[in-house]
Amino acid sequence: MDYKALAQQTAQEILGYYQDTPGWKVIKNSKKITVFSKASKKFHGNLYRVEGMIPESTSKLSDFLFKPENRVTWDKALKMYNIVLKIDSDTFICHTITQSFAMGSISPRDFIDLVSLKHYEGNMDVISATSVDFPAYPPSSSYIRGYNHACGYICLPVQENPAYSKLVMFVQTEMRGKLAPSIIEATMPSNLVSFMLNVKDGIKTQKIPSRHGYHHNGHSSFLKKK
């Protein structure tokens, strides 16, 4: 598979969602974070758009979101995030395992995603992701394999205050399994707000040097949980 071409195509789709303004419905407004939704054209479910301001420059924000190293330390929705194939400095394939959601009514899922970072004019960065088939990591009996249709983040500078960035996130996740769509629709908005708050907290924490000097990066214990 031509992963670079697929990454380019996915980034263009994310830009398309950003420029496609009609039809979005506000479904949650909390802590200066707004969640919108509209019907996805990719599957029988929703495309979500989440917007918020992050107190960090655009380049540092996109670097923070793109780097896999400390992802599970700040992203409370994940129990594992591992690179399984590095294609180049701006493109990789990762294997992620989520935590359970909604008091356990949504069990953990795993995903194999192609992730890429692209820089555009006006200091705009796009981090895009889409699920791919990767034979080295077939679905296992431990987790339901979910599927991310084109999703990602757009990081934009705030003209009047370069110390801040606008973060716009797009999510259209097919959970698969036997979940009722109503459960996903009821829990997704709060989960998306939580993610944005995790980003803000993670960025803040990263600015404080760790006294321990390093973070344990194995996360192997997570693999034993069923």
Q: Which CATH superfamily is domain 3-134+142-206 in?
A: START domain (3.30.530.20)
Given a cut of 80, whether residue 210 has pLDDT beyond it is no
Given a cut of 90, whether residue 177 has pLDDT beyond it is no
CA 76 – CA 194 distance, rounded (Å)? 8
Q: What's the predicted TM-score (pTM) here?
A: 0.89
CA 115 – CA 213 distance, rounded (Å)? 28
Given a cut of 60, whether residue 109 has pLDDT beyond it is yes
Give the count of alpha carbons within 13 A of 220, CB side only: 1
Q: Which phi-psi region, left, alpha or beta, contains residue 134 (left: φ > 0; alpha: ψ -120 to 50)?
A: beta
Pick 102 or 2 by higher pLDDT.
Answer: 2
Q: Which phi-psi region, left, alpha or beta, contains residue 103 (left: φ > 0; alpha: ψ -120 to 50)?
A: left
- Which tokens hold the place of 115? 């992730």
Given a cut of 70, whether residue 197 has pLDDT beyond it is yes
Q: Report pLDDT for 158.
A: 95
Lowest-pLDDT range of 81-95, 96-110, 165-179: 96-110
Pick 213 or 57 by higher pLDDT.
Answer: 57
Q: Which residue has the tokens 């959970």?
A: 175
